[in-house]
Amino acid sequence: MSKILGIDYGSVRVGTALSNDDQTIAFPRVTIESKEEVYEPHIEELIETENVSEIVIGLPLGFDGGDTTMTGKARVFAKNIEQKFGIPVVLQNEVLSSKMAGQHISDKKLLDARAAALILQSYLDRRKM
């Protein structure tokens, strides 16, 4: 069975998470520095080694549901990922994901991977409804 890759896109770091094989639970994976080439080898390696069939990318909307300064950047990132790997990409509202992920965590690298897991888990839970 295939897995779903979750991504918390940021201008400094990109957090990643993976679902289990049943696509019901999200687990934090790695955080990639944004100044690195985020497509290769990190994301490509996750896609290939974990048999990823779908990608969920957090969409940073404002509390009013409107776009923020990062919304456009996240949309471009998502489009580039979809074109690069030919895998369906879904955008998932990520309001408060970093805030919730940051509770009791001081390590920024853990924070971004945990935020990606929260985004992915929200998507997985929404699919069950």
| Structural domains of the chain, ranges and CATH numbers in brackets | 3-128 (3.30.420.140)
Q: Taking the CB of residue 35, how many other CB atoms lie within 10 A of it?
A: 9
The per-residue pLDDT for 75 is 95
More confident position, 91 or 100: 91
pLDDT tens for 54-99 read 999 999 988 888 898 889 999 999 999 999 999 999 999 986 555 5
More confident position, 3 or 70: 3
Paired strand residues for 28: 17
Phi/psi-derived region of residue 38, left when phi > 0, alpha when psi is between -120 and 50, beta in every other case: alpha
Tell me the pTM: 0.86
CA end-to-end span of the chain: 21
The per-residue pLDDT for 101 is 47
Instruction: Give the three-class secondary structure for 1.
Output: coil
Residue 6 structure tokens: 């979750």
Strand (E) or helix (H) holding 32: strand 26-33
- Residue among 31, 22, 39, 128 nearest 87 (CA): 39
| Residue 50 per-residue DSSP state | T
